[in-house]
Structure 1
Amino acid sequence: MYEVEVKVRADHEAVRERIGARNVRFRETVTQEDTYYDAPQRSFADTDEALRIRRETTIETGNRHGSGADESSQGNGGEEGKGDGRDNLDGRDGRNGDERIVLTYKGPLVDSQSKTRREAETGVEDADELRDVLSALGFAPAATVRKERSVYTGTDAGDDGDDGDGGDGGDGGNGDDSHDGEYTVVLDRVEGIGEFVEVELEAPENRIDTARERVYGMLRDLGLDPNAQVRTSYLELCLDAEGTEA
C-alpha cells in the first residue's frame, strides 16, 4: 500500500473555517517527537528513505465532539465543535495523555506530483529497547523533529450526497478508487518551520494517479492550491532552517 500525500504551507485558522463546512471530522490533537536514524550500510539522504521512531502523546480527542471551525488544539476550543466524532483511533481509547511509540520506514518518492511513498510501520511497547536494538545494528540518531498535529478524517464531498461544490480537480467520491475511500487531513505546527496542512489517502500502486487527483480535490475544497505543494520532508526543512546537512 502507498501513502499518497500532498503538503502545503497554510494558515490553520483559515483552513479550520473551511473544514467546518466539509464532510470531515475532528479526531484528535497530538504532539509528536520524531527521531530519524541513519543506516550503517547506506545513506538515507542519498536513497530518499527514512527510518524514524515517533513518540506521540494525545492532547485532545474527538470522542465527545466532531469537526468544526471551533475545534482547537488549545484548551477547550474543541468542546464547541459540531458533528458526531469517533471515540477510537487505531485501537486507542483516546484518553488525553495517552502515549504510543511507532517505528516507521518510508521508501523513496515514487511520484513527481506528490509525496507518494511506500510506507510500513508498527507499534512498539518499549522505545528504549528499540533504540538499543537499532544502536546494536549500527543505526544512529540523526535528527529530531517536534510538532503538534490536529487530525481529521473524511470522504469526498459527493460521498454523502453533498452538493460537491468543491469538486474541481477531483471527480472522485466513488469510494472504490482507494484502499478505504477515507482521507486523513492533518494540520501540523512544526517547531522551527511553521504551519502546514497535509491531505493523505492510501492507495494500491495501480490507483496512485486517481488517489492523487482526489487529494488535489480535497485541497481545493479547503481553499488550498495543490500547485503550491511542498515535497521536501519536515526533516529536510528543519535541517535547512538550522543550516545542517542531512
Structure 2
Amino acid sequence: MLEVEAKFAVPDLESVRNRLVRLEARMITRQKERDVYYNAPHRDFGETDEALRVRYDDAGSTVTYKGPKVRVGSAKAREEFNLAVESGETLEAILSRLGFRRAATVSKVREIYEMGDLTVTLDDVDDLGTFIEIEILTESDRDDAAARIGATAKELGVDGPPIYTSYLEMLLSKQ
C-alpha cells in the first residue's frame, strides 16, 4: 500500500477546521499520539530515508515501517506497513535488545477527519507548531492521488508550500 500525502504548516487550525465542517468532513477522533522512532543497527534510516516507529495513541500501540519517500507532484508517496501490537513497551524492549536505538520522540495532538477516501489530519506538534496533512492510501494511482490532494488543500484554504520532511526530520534538525 502506498501512502500519498502532503503536509502544510498552518498558522491557525481553527480556520481549516471550520472549512472541514462546511465541506461535511466526518471527524473520526481527536487524540494524543506519542511516536517513538528507532534507528537500525545495520543501516542508518536517516541515510536510507526509512522510518521505524512505535506509536502510542488512544487505540493502543502500533509499529510502523515507512519506506523511502518519492516525490509525486506536490505530494510525497512512500510504502507503509502498520501492525497493531499488544504492548508497545514490550516491542520497544525487543527492539532495544536487538540493537535498535531510539532516535527521537514526536508528541502531538491530532484530529482526524475523513472526506471520502481522503484523510485530513490537523496536528499540533510539540516544539514544531501546527500542520495539516492530507493523505490517500492507494495501490498504484499516485499521480491522481497527488492531484486530488492538491485540490483538497485549495478547498481547505491551505496555500503555503508543501513540506516534504517528516515531523521526525523537522525535530532532529532543530536539535
- The verdict on a shared fold, with TM-score over 0.5 as the criterion, is yes
Unaligned runs of 5+ residues in structure 1 are 58-98, 156-181
Q: For 1:215 and 1:34, how far apart are their aligned partners in 2?
A: 25
Q: 1:136 offset after TM fit, Å?
A: 2.1
Q: Which residue of 1 aligns with 2:60?
A: 100
Tell me, what secondary structure is at the counterpart of 2:76?
Answer: coil
- State the 4+ residue runs in structure 1 displaced beyond 4 angstroms: none
What is the one-letter code of the residue matched to 1:233?
S
The one-letter amino acid of 2:169's match is E
Matched, 1:201 2:161: no
- Equivalent residue, structure 1, for 2:157: 223
Matches within 5 A, 1:227-242: 228-241=161-174
CA contact (8 A) 2:67 2:80 kept: yes
Q: How many residues align?
A: 173
Name the CA distance, whole Å, in 2 between partners of 1:129 and 1:204: 32
Matched, 1:152 2:86: no
Calculate the TM-score normalised by the size of structure 1.
0.68
- The structure, 1 or 2, with the larger RCO (C-alpha pairs under 8 Å, 6+ apart) is 2
Q: CA RMSD in A?
A: 1.2
Q: How does 1:133-152 map to 2 (within 5 A)?
A: 133-152=94-113
State how far apart, in whole Å, the 1-side matches of 2:145 and 2:68 are: 18
Larger radius of gyration: 1
Other structure's SS at 2:151 match = helix
Q: Higher strand proportion, which one? A: 2
Unaligned ranges ≥5, structure 2: none
For residues 24 and 144 of structure 2, the distance between their equivalents in structure 1, rounded to whole angstroms, comes to 20
Per-residue deviation, 1:40: 0.6
After TM superposition, list the pairs within 5 Å mapping 1:162-177 onto structure 2.
Answer: none
Superposition pairs of residues 24-63 of structure 1, within 5 angstroms: 24-57=25-58
1:127 counterpart (74, 80, 88): 88
